[in-house]
Amino acid sequence: MKKALFVTFLLSPLFLFAQSMHQLQPQLAVGSLFPPLDFKTIDTRSQHYPFSLPPLSFATNALNPYLDTKTVELHYNLLHKAYVDNLNKALSGTPWEKSSLKELFINGSKLPVKIKNMAGGYWNHSFYWYCLTLPTPIKTVPEPISSSIIKDFGSVEGFKNHFKEEALNLFGSGWVWLIQDKTGKLVIVTTPNQDNPMMDFSPVQGKPLLTCDLWEHAYYLQYQNHRGDYIDAFWNLVDWDKVNDLFTRKD
């Protein structure tokens, strides 16, 4: 069944358009790094309608071999952009149009389903890209988050194993998160669809520090149904400096 669905996807207008887009787009050198993204890119307090697609801090081919170029192009240029466009359409002319993204999330249970889904899809993807950087052979987890990870999970390796386990246990599509809860403890949680831990109905709420997209469009072109391999590759791309910065922020 999955193979048949994937073949259908490969023949879909969306994928064919992505292929043509890939052929037309100038290819930058592998490893190209753009200016780093400002915290405002993901600051829910300062973001209001109309929303726009935030830039990437790397070229779409810069995450090879862990995330291939076509996956990043499809994921960012088409799917993420679709959430931006549909969020603006869903908000236009409604009482929620003047709300900040933070206000949308803390009122998630009161939102029309489409606004909730589009707002989550917009921000979750923005945060996912924000957490990624160029692949390097060894990524050291800096202090002070390293000590907190060891305190709450036993070791960095223990944290990664737990993160992967939670990701594999999530049925269907969604996200796996490292968050800091209201007590300051580091916790790993998953959310379905486009929900996130900042929404008022989330069973476990907290400040997101890191996320990994578990929707199949994030990895299926390269890893097919091997979600675990995708998670293993993910660690080669995590920007631990940004994660550490989020952890130490007081605002």
Q: How far apart are CA 2 and CA 176, in angstroms?
A: 22
Residues contacting 237, CB < 8 A, separation 6+: 63, 66, 67, 132, 133, 134, 135
Query: Is 20's pLDDT higher than 90?
Result: no
Higher pLDDT, 238 or 30: 238
CA atoms within 13 A on the CB side of 208: 28
Domains of the chain: 2-26+40-130 (1.10.287.990), 145-248 (3.55.40.20)
Tokens standing for residue 223: 């890893």
Residue (of 204, 201, 216, 212) closest to 116 by Cα position: 201
What pLDDT band is residue 41 in, cutting at 50, 70 and 90? confident
Q: How far apart are CA 142 and CA 119, in angstroms?
A: 31
pLDDT tens across 51-100, in order? Answer: 999 999 999 999 999 999 999 999 999 999 999 999 999 999 999 999 99
The whole-chain average pLDDT of the chain stands at 89
Q: How far apart are CA 38 and CA 36, in angstroms?
A: 6
- Tell me which DSSP letter residue 222 carries: H
Q: By mean pLDDT, which of 8-12, 179-183, 198-202, 215-219 is the weakest?
A: 8-12
Higher pLDDT, 36 or 137: 137
pTM over cut 0.85: yes
